[in-house]
Amino acid sequence: MTTQTANKAQLRDTRKAVGRRSSNPGWFLVSPSVLLLLLWMIVPLGMTLYFSLIRFNLLYPGENEFVGLENFSFFLTDSGFLPGIWNTVVLVLSVLIISVVGGVLVAALLEASDFIGRGIVRVMLISPFFIMPTVGALVFKNLIFHPVSGILAALWRAFGAQPIDWLANYPLASIIIIVAWQWLPFAILLLMTAIQSQDLEQKEAARLDGAGPGAIFWHLTLPHLSRPIAVVVMIETIFLLSVFAEIFTTTNGGPGFASTNLAYLIYNQALVQFDVGMASAGGLIAVVIANIAAVILVRMIGKNLTDKG
Amino acid sequence: MMTLKQSRRLQSVALGGLSWLIALLIFFPILWMVLTSFKTEIDAFATPPLFFFHPTLENYIHIQERSDYLHFAWNSIAISFSATILCLLIAVPAAYSMAFYETKRTKQTLLWMLSTKMLPPVGVLMPIYLLAKGTGLLDTKLALIIIYTLVNLPIVVWMVYTYFKDVPRDILEAARLDGATLLQEMLRVLLPISKGGLASTALLSLILCWNEAFWSLNLSSSQAAPLTALIASYSSPEGLFWAKLSAVSTLACAPILIFGWISQKQLVRGLSFGAVK
């Protein structure tokens, strides 16, 4: 009798404990992450904001008077600003289009065809994603694009044409090719896996109803891929907005500003010309642009990400 | 005349050939880099490029002499592993609570975390640079470890959250009824169940840290410089050491490439935040 009551009491205690825990271990556990990220955002951003309002050049220490919005107007009227914005937009959009369209096509191709060595093909297709950006850029610069000993130069000569100095004559296009080479495999990797989970019976039924491969692709496969495509766009945009190493190791933003994106322009302002004030103003402008992109993306895709199946 | 079956067969063979062609085209730069790393410097610069040559190991032998490769490799290893471990330690509790005690704010918090990833690094370059300089952390491994942890935290929280969402709640509740404390519940029940997911999250974090090139180029010069910085130093036109550059690059990329090949299937799920299974 007594043991029974004791057991009951124990059970009640446990239930209470369980109930208490299920009501809130939450913020105590989440808070380190949130706090760190908040600090990571607020402290440097606050400092950037402050620096952007004063004169601050590392070459002239001590002259830090308040200058209002002068840095912003300097940055916005800098001869590199418009090319920088334009190149950033062109770079991001081109690589996004190449990787989404290419990724869907390659994934569909692999799904439609039957051949020996599928595993090896898969591995080869996704490999560039794992290569360091600095390595990828230098391999393209020295071994592929090089006007004397590059592969493309040899190819051009084989057809009797004059080899082209790609990075000097088509700097932005060359960088787009390098960056797309790194990110297309990411899209292929995701879409290839996603396409395999498509409902085969549905496809078979459509085929029996007389739908051609084009119609099946357009009406069944593409909608099936919409969520993975959203993920590809989201992740790639995050990384593409701040492409840096590829430019740093190949063209240094040149010739002129031909391949300078916003990230490189600000780096140049800060660590090459030591103008912290102006670089900070530029940094804030980059943050605003990234936020606009983020709001658009989250509106478009956020629902896709958090709603489970 | 061809039967329908024959034409289908032909079509599929043609498509297979096309797949191989595309794969070879995409893989070619890597293949070429590896081939070049076994050439002499003279062969590496030959025109037209040599596809057949006497392979040599001299580049690999000379790497250490020319550039102190091991110093940079050790920095890469130390920084990537420390940052990954630190990041998981912070992210796992957060992901646990968001996955199993979901509130109205959870989704907003997750999206907010991801949005901090959209903060362009250049926007905060100057403050971080000056803070590092002021605290004497410039060109130290610690600075890069802290920054990589923070930079990867949102993605790691997301991935772990995605994996935890798939763990049946009943198992955790059973453990709780058996009197397991919060810590026991996490260490003895949750982590063993989701170790596959955690492993692939750790792997992705390692890849991102290993290949990161913005902060490492700007915050380290010699003492703490990882492999990305070593390789970028070859971009200067001072010497045409392409065979050696290829050898260094091959060594720097091989571990991550092999990691990636082995774990591609698990990576997909995490990378797509569960959108692809």
The fraction of chain A above a pLDDT of 70, given in percent, is 88
Q: What is the pLDDT at residue A16?
A: 47
Of residues B30, B103, B126, nearest to A128 (C-beta):
B30
Name the pLDDT band for A115 (thresholds 50, 70, 90): confident
Q: What is the pLDDT at residue A309?
A: 37
Q: What is the pLDDT at residue B163?
A: 85
Contacts of B275 in chain A (CB under 8 A): 194, 227-228, 230-231, 304-305
- Indicate whether A22 pLDDT > 80: no
Of residues A115, A133, A141, nearest to B213 (C-beta):
A133
Task: Scan for tokens 């299920």, then name that residue.
Answer: A22
Contact between residue A191 and residue A229 where contact means Cβ atoms under 8 Å apart? yes
Domains of chain A: which residue ranges?
Answer: 81-259
- Indicate whether A123 pLDDT > 50: yes
Contacts of B123 in chain A (CB under 8 A): 44-45, 48, 266, 283-284, 286-287, 290
- Indicate whether A2 pLDDT > 50: no
Domains of chain B: which residue ranges?
Answer: 59-271
* Check whether domain B59-271 has CATH 2.40.110.20, yes or no: no
Q: What is the pLDDT at residue B238?
A: 52
Closest to A138 (Cα-Cα) out of B244, B216, B245, B221: B245
How far apart, in whole angstroms, are the C-alpha atoms of residue B132 and residue A214?
Answer: 56
B118 touches chain A (CB under 8 A): yes
In three-state secondary structure terms, B90 is helix
Q: What is the pLDDT at residue B24?
A: 93
CB contact under 8 A, B228 and A134: yes
Q: What is the pLDDT at residue B236?
A: 65
How far apart, in whole angstroms, are the C-alpha atoms of residue A140 and residue A132?
Answer: 12
Closest to A185 (Cα-Cα) out of A124, A273, A112, A109: A124
In three-state secondary structure terms, A57 is strand
Residues in Cβ contact with B131 at an 8 Å cutoff, skipping those fewer than 6 apart: A44, A47, B137
Task: State the 10-residue block means of pLDDT for chain B, 277 residues long.
Answer: 71 84 93 88 75 80 78 91 94 85 79 76 82 88 92 88 84 80 80 83 88 87 86 68 84 87 77 64
Q: What is the pLDDT at residue B240?
A: 64
Name the pLDDT band for A305 (thresholds 50, 70, 90): low
How far apart, in whole angstroms, are the C-alpha atoms of residue B127 and residue A255?
Answer: 29
Contacts of B120 in chain A (CB under 8 A): 241-242, 262-263, 283, 286-287, 290
B194: DSSP letter: T
Mean pLDDT of chain A: 81
- Indicate whether A9 pLDDT > 70: no
Which comes out higher in pLDDT, residue A143 or B1?
Answer: A143
Class of domain A81-259: mainly alpha
How far apart, in whole angstroms, are the C-alpha atoms of residue B153 and residue B174?
Answer: 30
Mean pLDDT of A43-71: 79
Nearest Cα of chain A lies from the Cα of B219 at a distance, in angstroms, of: 11
**What phi and psi values does residue A201 have, to the nearest 5 degrees?**
-60, -40
Q: What is the pLDDT at residue A183?
A: 94
In three-state secondary structure terms, B119 is coil
- Indicate whether A101 pLDDT > 50: yes
Q: Answer whether 0.90 is exceeded by the pTM.
A: no
Q: What is the pLDDT at residue A302?
A: 63
How far apart, in whole angstroms, are the C-alpha atoms of residue B263 and residue B260?
Answer: 5
From B262, which residue of chain A is nearest by alpha-carbon distance? A123
Q: What is the pLDDT at residue A20?
A: 44
Name the pLDDT band for A303 (thresholds 50, 70, 90): low
- Indicate whether A223 pLDDT > 90: no
Strand partners, A275: A57
Which comes out higher in pLDDT, residue A11 or A114?
Answer: A114
